[in-house]
């Protein structure tokens, strides 16, 4: 059997090299299909993306499950408004869409702010009176915590203080222990080792963590 260009003998996994003409044809075909969908009024379904760059970060691993779900709602609102500097996600919204209770939602906001996923308004501008909703914006500050254990511990201290203020000493103790492990790389290492092996380099992924 005649070998294809770029294929090595005896290598069943080898694939032929795509030439410039074939690649150009593929791009034009995809563009034509997209143009046809638009002409028919068809649109791609709304969606959000989480990259492994974000999901493998210490900041993400430090979030509780409720905080991670709340972050998805922030991304949902951002996708629809296309304004990452003016996001309104209220307690009632989280309860209606994801079933997160007010107490868990309050802690989620503290986690997301402390770990650099969102930025909230100043203290004097926060809602509460007359049912005013706080305006938040997305942040990529979580990236700076990856190689800064001191900053990660500082973020954890803010969450621990919130738990103690709410009268939850056991939760505060657990949170403090978890952040100490994450800062030392212990919990993060175990989490990554239990997952599937990487097939692509991390550098090939966007670092923003959002789409």
Distance (Å, rounded) from C-alpha 119 to C-alpha 112?
A: 8
What is the pTM (predicted TM-score) of this model? 0.65
Give the residue, 20 or 156, on which the prediction is more confident. 156
Please write the tens of the pLDDT for every residue from 62-84: 999 999 999 998 888 887 777 66
8 Å CB contact between 61 and 182: yes
1-5, 58-62, 168-172: segment of lowest average pLDDT = 1-5
Q: Let me know how many helices (H) and strands (E) the chain has, helices first.
A: 9, 2
8 Å CB contact between 69 and 112: no
């Amino acid at each position: 059997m005649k070998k294809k260009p770029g294929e090595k003998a005896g290598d069943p996994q080898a694939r032929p090299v795509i030439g410039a003409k074939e690649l150009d044809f593929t791009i034009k075909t995809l563009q034509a299909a997209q143009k046809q969908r638009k002409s028919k009024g068809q649109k791609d379904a709304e969606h959000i993306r989480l990259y492994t760059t974000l999901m493998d970060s210490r900041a993400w691993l430090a979030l509780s499950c409720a905080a991670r779900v709340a972050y998805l709602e922030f991304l949902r609102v951002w996708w629809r408004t296309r304004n990452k500097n003016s996001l309104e996600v209220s307690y009632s919204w989280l309860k209606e869409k994801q079933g997160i209770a007010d107490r868990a939602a309050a802690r989620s906001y503290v986690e997301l702010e402390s770990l650099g996923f969102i930025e909230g308004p100043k203290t004097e501008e926060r809602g509460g009176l007359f049912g005013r909703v706080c305006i938040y914006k997305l942040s990529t500050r979580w990236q700076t915590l990856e190689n800064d254990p001191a900053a990660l511990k500082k973020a954890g201290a803010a969450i621990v203080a919130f738990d103690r203020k709410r009268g939850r000493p056991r939760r505060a103790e657990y949170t403090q222990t978890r952040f100490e492990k994450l800062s030392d790389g212990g919990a993060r290492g175990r989490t990554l080792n239990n997952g599937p092996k990487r097939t692509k380099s991390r550098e090939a992924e966007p670092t923003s963590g959002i789409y």
